[in-house]
Structure 1
């Protein structure tokens, strides 16, 4: 029985790690579903193509070649190297050692592990360059006001995670004596193995098993860290690109509630003052626009969770570049933070949200930020995972205009002129054609 203790302990850690991950995923889905329903199931072939090209193929990443290529190296390397996790899980549960090696033979197995070792070195190099660009070169988009505190630490923590996991993988292979003696797949680790020449076989075995345990535990920790990190996009980039808005940029949606109001006004038989029939529930008028996260649709909320905080949107925003307060990245981060706050409120109150006197508008996103937007769609165009900050900005503007009549003075004057004169300018309709006489 004693010899099975490590296997039982491994199973416990595996179940606990996956169980906690599933719990967080369920909470994530619950929070996203707090948004309003929207149908994004049209044009499925185009949606599948977008997901394959943008999420899987990293098409939009390479518009900035250096960071794009480095990201692809980390993305491909990290995903492929973790295929070995399947072997680790089997070995951990059944007490075997490199169970795939005899099954695949030294040729195929050596090719796979050798590829993983090369990729692990490339990932290490890419991560070090990322760390240098973020902390030494101090690229401006990583040092904006919204990137202080946790966002800044989170960006570095994930880099440290990747360095540790890749290093453990190489050390594990370098100290595995039978693996090194077989000479199949130790393309990189053969050069690390001499570092441990002075160690006894027992010490090498201890180092190898320690690296093995730390590697798998580290992967489980990383898996559960995703929920609390901007790297949640590793999972959400795929559905986010699939359900992205396929309409032409610049085409804004019409509010159904407004459309219904206009139709009723144009219907001569409609009675706007009609009371509901006896026994019928009086409908609560739908809010125009959005003042809190529950007024947004579920795709917008998924956008917030998918944000990579890369800052490409903000670095391309003309309002931000001219010194305005607006940062599209901050819009997404604020939306996610408020959504998390609402989710925690629900958890603390037995599944029911209790008003906390706060909302997304004013408490997180200021009116100055919203009105600074030029609605040019640069942020939407630049996002590597098809996030749409502009849609949130426009929905919150709609709320300000249609619910609070809180548009800037210049906009109110323009709308008054359109209402009175049929044009944005303040002159009589009778004078509209005077230009032709000049």
Structure 2
């Protein structure tokens, strides 16, 4: 019976990481429902971009207050969970503060003191974010599209992070008091918990302190496993997916038109006086032609676009700078990504239930994203420029517009008139080609 704690710990550890791996597998499968796109060029630039944007948070600090607080939470939470290594070893082998024997007394004191300071910064960050999100009234955080689960999710994450940090302090505080009483070996320096919690805990019995230290330790461990598996259901999946999203980001100039190779070949064929328009396509060319122009559903998008949908932080920086949204139009770039993710999750559940996708009579276009939203976009690229993790909602809008125009001939009247003029007059304006130089007569 003396190893019962170690056995329970091992079961929880395997179950927690097993469920997490299963969730990641589902996400990977869903992303692969999109068609492949080659984003393996310019690798050194991609590694640099990922290091600067995902790890270095370079775009977050463009709004200094929110950026610095987010940096506190991000760096603090990641580094603090280095302690998970120590927790795993202690839990499996019944040791106490295993890293003390690895680091040595001096460096371990520095390490634990650093963790405590970072934990305090995390607490400050999450408290400010909670107040800012719920009471300060930042417009992009109080929009209608965030009502319901998105707002609850953001709050739950902040509450979980706060609770984990409090357990961390409580564990260290009880540990420190027991060390001062000579009941535990003196390992670590705890400037925050020894200052603020130890005076409160000092009045309790040894037995209570041992219970408190162990209970906080278990809470911290189980809380980390819960948080890790909660990510699948949360916008905070970006903690993981921000890294591949920035690596696979579009490095071309913003606004560069994405020509379809099949259309380009067709136009070249039409312009070649020696080409036979009735000739059979060369071997392989027929297969290379797309079965559909543009995107009607998530299957028509590429894998990076679906990865973007999962990586969206729902921060709303894209929507806050969108000129269409600012002027009261229905378009919200953030909502485009959220709706794409919702449809992707619905398709994933369909596959889980049936073993394969069974047509459910729904599409991303019209059932999730309306034509009104798509045509409200000015293609100014403000949303892609503002995104802190280089997501590209405009590319999804663009592909769905392409479907409307090339598959359904459903462009707005103004656009149809312009395209007719280009076809008939070789110019967007409605006048005869013979009159094109009349502007120079005076």
TM-score of the superposition, structure 2-length normalised?
A: 0.95
How far apart, in 2, do the equivalents of 1:282 and 1:16 lie? 45
* Corresponding residue for residue 148 of structure 1: 147
Among candidates 374, 381, 393, match of residue 377 of structure 1: 381
Does the 8 A contact of 2:178 with 2:209 survive in 1?
Answer: no
Give the match for residue 64 of structure 2.
65
Give, in whole Å, the separation in 2 of the partners of 1:170 and 1:163.
11
Further displaced range: 138-147 or 302-311:
138-147
CA contact (8 A) 1:180 1:186 kept: no
- Change in CA separation of 1:273 and 1:143 when aligned onto 2, cut-off 3 Å: farther
Quote the Cα distance in structure 1 between the aligned partners of 2:115 and 2:338: 34
Question: Partner of 1:293 in structure 2?
Answer: 298
1:178 offset after TM fit, Å? Answer: 4.1
Residue correspondences, number:
434
Alpha-carbon spacing, 1:406–1:96, altered in 2? closer, same or farther (3 Å): same
Change (3 A) 1:183 1:91: closer
Which deviations, in whole Å up to 9, do the C-alpha atoms of 1:10-34 show, x marking residues without a partner? 0000000000000011111111111
Distance 1:318 1:89, change over 3 A: same
Say whether 1:174 aligns with 2:173: yes
Q: For residues 408-419 of structure 1, what are the structure 2 equivalents within 5 Å?
A: 408-419=412-423
In structure 1, the residue matched to 2:322 is 317
Residue pair 1:32, 1:302 contacting (<8 A) in 2 also: yes
Q: Distance in 2 between matches of 1:227 and 1:28?
A: 8
Distance 1:276 1:348 in 2: 41
- Please list the CA deviations of residues 122-153 of structure 1 after superposition, one character each: whole Å capped at 9, or x if unmatched: 11011100001100102110111210111010
The offset of 1:296, in angstroms, is 0.4
What is residue 362 of structure 1 aligned with on the other side? 366
Q: Which residue of 2 aligns with 1:260?
A: 265
The residue that corresponds to 2:24 in the other structure is 25
In the TM superposition, residue 282 of structure 1 has moved relative to its aligned partner by 8.4
The residue correspondences of 1:272-283 to structure 2 (distance < 5 A) are 272=278, 274=280
Which residue does the alignment assign to 1:115?
114
**Does the 8 Å contact 1:276/1:282 carry over to 2?**
no
Q: CA separation in 1, counterparts of 2:187 and 2:81?
A: 22
The residue number in structure 1 matching 2:225 is 220
The Cα of 1:276 is off from its aligned counterpart by 11
Instruction: Give the match for residue 270 of structure 1.
Output: 276
The CA deviation at 1:256 is: 2.1
Give the Cα–Cα distance (whole angstroms) in 1 for the partners of residues 335 and 262 of structure 2.
Answer: 29
Match in the other structure for 2:404:
400
TM-superposed deviation, 1:260: 3.1
Structure 1 unaligned runs (5+)? none
Q: Equivalent residue for 1:432?
A: 436
Q: Is the 8 A contact 1:36 1:294 kept in 2?
A: yes
Q: Is residue 257–residue 288 contact of structure 1 (8 Å, CA) maintained in 2?
A: no
* Residues 19 and 318 of structure 1: CA distance in aligned 2, closer, same or farther (over 3 Å): same
Tell me what 1:98 maps to. Answer: 97
In 2, Cα distance between the equivalents of 1:314 and 1:360? Answer: 20
2:354 is aligned with 1:349: yes
CA contact (8 A) 1:7 1:95 kept: yes
- Is the CA contact (8 Å cut-off) linking 1:257 and 1:286 kept in structure 2? no
Contact kept in structure 1, 2:178 and 2:206, CA below 8 Å: no
Aligned-partner Cα distance in 1 for 2:287–2:97: 67
Partner of 1:421: 425
CA gap of 1:282–1:190, structure 2 versus 1, over 3 A, is closer
- Tell me the residue number matched to 1:48: 47
Tell me how far apart the structure 1 counterparts of residues 255 and 119 of structure 2 sit (CA, whole Å). Answer: 43
Q: 1:335 maps to what in 2?
A: 340
How far did residue 104 of structure 1 move? 2.4
Structure 1 residue 185: deviation in Å?
1.0
- The whole-number CA distance in structure 1 between the counterparts of 2:201 and 2:236 is 35
**In 2 relative to 1, CA 183–19 (structure 1 residues): closer, same or farther, beyond 3 Å?**
closer
CA spacing shift, 1:127–1:420, aligned 2, 3 Å: same
Provide the rounded CA distance (Å) in 2 between the counterparts of 1:283 and 1:390.
25
User: Which stretch has the larger CA shift, 187-196 or 125-134?
Assistant: 187-196
Q: Is the 8 A contact 1:173 1:180 kept in 2?
A: no
Instruction: Give secondary structure in 1 for the equivalent of 2:126.
Output: helix
Aligned to 1:246: 251
Deviations 1:289-343 (A, max 9, x none): 0010110000000011110000000000011001111000000000011011111
- Check if 1:11 corresponds to 2:15: no
Is residue 262–residue 289 contact of structure 2 (8 Å, CA) maintained in 1? no
> How far does residue 258 in structure 1 lie from its aligned partner after superposition?
1.6
